[in-house]
Structure 1
């Protein structure tokens, strides 16, 4: 079977499985990615994501993870939204959930289709292969750029000429020696819309991200109290942030109708009421977010996020559920409840201040004492 014909058939099969983009890169593509990764880690920009340090050598290059790999098949699946992701900004009674998390868990959906493509390829070509989504130590974005799917924009995510900034990425490592596609040429030009849109100045320079300042990191990866300096900027975002993606001009070419049905939003997650979310216990949280990527962060972290949103929203109808969380078993929830109640009902917070006498968690005590330096993050330094 001619290599070019096989590659054409790989891309055709990928399309039938719902992938909007497919390209091929050599295993030694993006050689500088490992160097940039190590510098990023050395600067501490990964924050609490310690798992990135432990497997940095495997992440740095495909061969570091699997020495037998010869080619990488990079794939993208569209999750382009039908509605404006920024439409709920400033609506105090509801929480904003990132577009990608409003439907089914993309890890499951993308990996299922990757495995289907992998089985087909193994049967057709008799090769060895491995499939990866973003839970593996794989640098999908530079590999996708090397494979011609697009380019890493100034917001550090992949941008596609046809799908904008709305692609879930996956990769298949194979022992096949496939002819690579041409890399994706960068086309951001002078546009800096994504940089200007970031509420927390998480970009110290174009193409560089300080995750410690990123709302997606703070609401998903960060386990402790939300640093006080970022709380107001978080607004009503309770899981992730779409701002830098949503303002990308290339999104105008993405068609929401082409997005996988599995990623279509669940009605109850498009504009969820904070009053309902603040009352979730662990069992209720697991039930509401069954099959959702949100389930991965756990109830305590999620309710912490909802409390920050409640404090920012100014909806006095939330005072009662916020006050009820002052005695929550989780310290991170109690601390956020103190901050939120102080924003919604300062007099009510003063009346509840007696609880501080029995508090044993240092972070919660700092909240009672009104510290404004909780978890302060170093300012990003330009390159």
Structure 2
């Protein structure tokens, strides 16, 4: 797949090899553990690392097909499929960190990533410093001699701050520090980290890449061959690998991601704009809205937005918020996003921030806008806000 092809074309064609598979459109699913060799020489020929099939955990044509498609979208060297988004994050971090190293982690990061830093990396002698997501080039002041990785998540998946990725990358690269970003919110369709100098791009492919809430998947994309070898070696040694049937579902979802994501984007903006006009709402946290604090950076670096955003309500009691949420008909409550269904959950970022203080006027909700009719979703939210008002008045 040539680099001049547009994103929609890459998503449709990359990683598929019909001529090598009897003309069949979709790559076959290889269920494999043992790989057989015809001779002792072939068995003992290690060759270039990770270029041949030697054991199912190392990779198969099924994993290659998905990885090639993601890598083509990212514009990087190669990608690595693993069994979940968290596995992609933890696998990448452990591949590049060792005892005595220092990690700079964004304070708005996904909760399980923070838990991994505080509970696992700490136990193995890696120190984590959380930093203000809006620090930009000021991160240079936090980089130490032992700093090995700067980790970003832009926008944050609960508070939606947009980071100045190029400024952070410039500061890190000047000191020889590896940069990583959780790019799940935008996907490579709407943000390409390698174009901004990032070394490792991470995805909970469970979300928009799979897109149907029916498979767990993570992916690590590497900008260079050296970064790929380090990440692949680390994940292979830890036993990370993705299952063949989940890989098939991820490939299938990837082919329609552009169509789905544009619907998520348009519907989410309509819902966000409607919520801005509601008296019960204090703020809407969506970087694509012109009055959002991160809008200028989003407009500079991104080509689109996804279906996930936040809402801060005016002060309301927990019973009133519970009444809003418990009666929803189309919005379900669940700890994920990126699927075809709409979701809504209460969230409490103020409880986990450590480098910065998260201040909200009232309760915070996180919404994922699915593929339902947007007017039906707005009606569901309107009814929920009416329940909130009735409960508050009771």
**Pairwise same-fold verdict (TM > 0.5):** no
Q: Which has the higher helix share?
A: 1
- TM-score by length of structure 1 reads 0.28
User: What is the TM-score of this pair, normalised by structure 2?
Assistant: 0.28
